[in-house]
Amino acid sequence: MAFSRVFSDPPSRSIFKKFVVMLCSLLTSLYFLYCLTDRCSTMPTPVRASDQVMGFLASDFQDWQSLRRKRLLQKMMMSKPGYDAAKLLASQRFDAERDVVGAAGALDRADADVLRSDLRLAGGSVDLASLARLAGFPAKAPGSAGKLSQLGEGTKKLPQAIIIGVKKGGTRALLEFLRVHPDIRAVGAEPHFFDRNYDNGLDWYRDLMPKTLEGQITMEKTPSYFVTKEAPARIYAMSPETRLIVVVRDPVTRAISDYTQTLSKKPDIPTFESLTFKNRTTGLIDTSWSAVQIGIYAKHLDNWLQYFPMRQILFVSGERLISDPAGELGRVQDFLGLKRIITDKHFYFNQTKGFPCLKKAEGSSKPHCLGKTKGRTHPNIDPEVVQRLRDFYRPFNMKFYQMTGRIFGWDE
């Protein structure tokens, strides 16, 4: 009876209820605290981001799940606004411990040691797909094809921009300069897909391209496309939105440079003068000789304008690429819709070669000039022959200036 009275006593029931309420409140508080520390998988909360690093979500980061590591990465990005995470993630020579910790120069020693320790625990490798998502870069571009890289996630895409010409105009220099830009990924060798290897198919062509992240542009250069009759239709069939870049140069100087290159490979070829004319006495120019034919820019441009509007074609001055590389590169970056990152600070002029060189090439901390095959000394050509060629090209040049809306000054 006494036992019954004790448990039926209203004050005892009240205390028990209060205890239950307090216990529930405590558990609820612990649960919300658990969520606020980004450890709750059902209620992910956004972390404050810099202009470069948006939308950090702990659930997207698989290998580095702890909040500590995530905060360190965020601190690194926010404290170094000029650091380009996209370039790091796209690099095919990525070393996790060296590059990530090296990029975290703004971190204090204790934080850097923590980050380095975490990398070593991961075996010196990082899941760059997760790192890319953590840093706000989409994992895979929609509609693109490709396989995952062991060193980072990227896809091989068909080029969105192509340097289509012209031979001996400065295309190699332009490509090397453009590769400094973190948002440009270009294949080094000339694919010659649209003139020699078209039967291999687009999958073969795509496989030649480097892997890129979302927002990066895939490029290639094959100067012979500009004078290949079938190339415009073939590129249009691949993508009518393709942007085309043509590096042009004084056609007379270009023809002599073309001949000089051939002479270096075949020393027994006839003289420049004899190849230039069908008949030296009459002064009739041999337009079937490729060195002469390539320089008739207006004729070749007519073929391209059958498929592409002028707004999709950019003409780069080969002469200005030497005298003002940053200026011409600025025009190219604008044309491609990219931020002007390549500026005067990237170049120095090499007096020996007579060409601008890069202070730091792509993937290197050392200065880089074009190879010894570039900038060859031209043979002495009879001034009368040079003048005959200038007279021959003049009307074609005038038409080309009119078509492009730019005066290149080859006839001054």
Binding residues for 3'-phosphoadenylyl sulfate: 168-172, 249, 257, 374-378
Residues in binding site: 168-172, 249, 257, 374-378
Q: Which residues pair with 246 in a beta bridge?
A: 165, 315
Q: In this structure, are residues 177 and 329 in contact, taking their beta carbons and an 8 Å threshold? A: yes
Contacts of 147 (CB under 8 A, 6+ apart): 156
From CA 200, how far away is CA 241, in angstroms rounded? 22
Q: Tokens at residue 197, please?
A: 């290897």
Catalytic residues, which ones? 168
Contacts of 372 (CB under 8 A, 6+ apart): none
At residue 192's C-alpha, the angle toward residues 186 and 194, to 5°, is 105
Token pair 């003289």 in the structure block, residue = 271
**Distance linking the first and last C-alpha atoms of the chain:** 122
At residue 264's C-alpha, the angle toward residues 258 and 269, to 5°, is 80
Q: In this structure, are residues 77 and 47 in contact, taking their beta carbons and an 8 Å threshold? A: no
From CA 364, how far away is CA 343, in angstroms rounded? 17
Residue closest to 239 by CA, chosen among 194, 200, 204 = 194
**Cα Rg, the chain, nearest whole Å:** 31
> H or E stretch including 355?
strand 355-358
Q: Which residues of 179-192 are buried (b: 16+ CB within 10 A; e: fewer)?
A: bbbbbbbbbeebbe
